Amino acid sequence: MKDALYALGKDAVDSLRDLLPIVLVIGVFQVFVVRQPVDDLFSLLSGGLLVVAGLACFIFGLRLALFPVGEGLAYSLAAKGSVFWLLAFAFVLGFGTTVAEPALIAVAAEASKVAAAASVIESTPEAIEGYAFGLRMTVALAVGIALVTGVFRILANWSLPMMIIGGYVLVILLTGLAPPEIVGVAYDSGGVTTSTVTVPLVTALGVGLASSVKGRNVMVDGFGLIAFASLTPILFVLIYGILAEWT
């Protein structure tokens, strides 16, 4: 009990450390550069506390539940050696963790509001929510497929740099075909997916796999999965944009 409280407190300090530089920089700018009164200071400060409390609970919960189970499963499936179940698990892991990724929820919500304001989609709450949901599912699907590809690559021992560079060449080609309004969102979705939830679990999968397959380097192969997970969302969101334009 005491240990758990200590761990929760440590997560709160970490979250506070994430927020503190933002508060400091914005504070300095408000006082010395902008020099204008800020409305709703109370609402901003209480919201900041909610961010810290929420992030602390979230990460504490992840450590208690998702990380041990995910890591345990990753290790036992890698040891079990069934390629089908390993690939299935990789897909589910990528898809499921990306759906619950807070940064992605945030960016998808903003993207849908902007799209509605520019009347790319209808300005009804249903249409906005539908667009945000579609975007999140597209990215989640992309990360799922990224992990399947990445795991398969570790098993088949394909060259990582060639695949990644090839992927980015494809990104540039698709950018030419995609409607311009999806390009920015697509590029951002690559960086968004690899944060709080996905990285630790994906690393566990890569490391578990690389250490149970002979002749694989733990450092290089564990990292390869993350590189795929930041590449495929760009591709998939671009394709999503191209398909949405056709229909």
**Among positions 9, 157, 168, 177, the unique one binding other proteins when judged by CB under 8 A:** 168
The reply on whether position 9 binds other proteins by CB under 8 A is no
Segment (H or E) for 231: helix 218-246
DSSP 217: -
**How far, rounded to the nearest angstrom, does the alpha carbon of residue 169 sit from its chain's CA centroid?**
22
Indicate the Cα dihedral angle 177, 181, 185, 190, nearest 10°.
Answer: 10
- Residues of this chain, 202-231, that bind other proteins according to CB under 8 A: 219-220, 223, 226-227, 229-230
Query: How far apart (Å, rounded) are the C-alpha atoms in residues 127 and 112?
Result: 9
The reply on whether position 172 binds other proteins by CB under 8 A is yes
**Among positions 87, 103, 155, 242, the unique one binding other proteins when judged by CB under 8 A:** 103
Residue whose C-alpha is closest to residue 140's, from 200, 197, 94: 94
**Among positions 124, 157, 159, 195, the unique one binding other proteins when judged by CB under 8 A:** 195
The reply on whether position 53 binds other proteins by CB under 8 A is yes
**Among positions 188, 207, 208, 235, the unique one binding other proteins when judged by CB under 8 A:** 188
**Among positions 135, 139, 143, 190, the unique one binding other proteins when judged by CB under 8 A:** 190
**Closest distance of CB 154 from other proteins, Å:** 14
8 A C-beta contact, residue 227 and residue 193: no
